Amino acid sequence: MTLTTFALIRHGQTDWNAQRRLQGATDIPLNDVGRGQARDAVDVLSDYEWDAIVSSPLSRAAETASVIADGLGLSVTRHIPALAERSFGPAEGLHAGPELEALRIPGGYRGAESEEDAAARGLGALEALAEEFPARRVLVVAHGTLLRVSLNRAIGRTLHRIDNAVLNLAHYHATKGWHLEYFNGERVVAAAQG
């Protein structure tokens, strides 16, 4: 059985994360806490050998990937546009409150990329990587919402918030689909699989 193993890592913290502002496709850089989180992730990720490291082109993910790659003695293979965060349109930059609520529609926000489209884009990018790297280990640095909705679709269950710079380990087989082994750094109980 040919399994491709993925570490799916959300970027480190940004100032907008700390301020609880909706970030989306807005290119906000890591803050010092986020850089520290990326350095800390190296300890867990060094337990595995990685064949490729890829990331979203947004700076917060690209810098997280670079810090991790440096810590592992590797380099980032490439930046993949399809791994960019879900666009939230005019809701980006807003805090929870009346202004954000005024933009809310079923399934998201007015002018935003739909959850379904983001999941299809993210899962498509991951499955293309599985084709490119069969039976290999690929470290992917991307974004919380994109990874969450992609995993939701992949395993057929609803996952909640993905933490910054922690291990989510998933395996993909072309005919048997996806299996999530670790979520937010914790082993997933087999009965909870979709």
159 within a domain of the structure (yes/no): yes
CA separation, residue 45 to residues 86, 160, 169 (Å): 25, 22, 10
150 within a domain of the structure (yes/no): yes
37 is in an annotated binding site: no
193 is in an annotated binding site: no
107 within a domain of the structure (yes/no): no
28 within a domain of the structure (yes/no): yes
CA separation, residue 180 to residues 8, 95, 140, 190 (Å): 10, 31, 15, 9
175 within a domain of the structure (yes/no): yes
CA separation, residue 36 to residues 3, 11, 30, 108, 110 (Å): 31, 11, 10, 31, 35
Q: Which of 26, 27, 32 is nearest to 13 (CA)?
A: 32
The count of domains in the chain is 1
13 is in an annotated binding site: yes
Segments in the chain below pLDDT 50: 191-194
184 is in an annotated binding site: no
> Is 0.75 surpassed by the pTM of this model?
yes
19 is in an annotated binding site: no
- Residue 194: per-residue pLDDT: 46
Q: What is the pLDDT of residues 91-138, one digit of tens each?
A: 999 999 999 999 999 989 999 999 999 999 999 999 999 999 999 999
126 within a domain of the structure (yes/no): yes
Q: Which domain holds residue 38?
A: 4-88+114-186
With H, G, I as helix, E, B as strand and everything else as coil, classify residue 188. coil
- Residue 190: per-residue pLDDT: 65
Express as a percent the part of the chain with pLDDT over 70. Answer: 97
- Residue 189: per-residue pLDDT: 82
192 within a domain of the structure (yes/no): no
Which CATH number characterizes residue 78's domain?
3.40.50.1240
- Residue 107: per-residue pLDDT: 85
Residues annotated as catalytic are 11, 85
11 is in an annotated binding site: yes
65 within a domain of the structure (yes/no): yes
- Residue 18: per-residue pLDDT: 97
- Residue 165: per-residue pLDDT: 98
The continuous run of DSSP H or E covering 172 comes out as: strand 169-173
**Residues whose CB is less than 8 angstroms from the CB of residue 136 and which lie 6 or more positions away in sequence, other chains included:** 4, 5, 51, 52
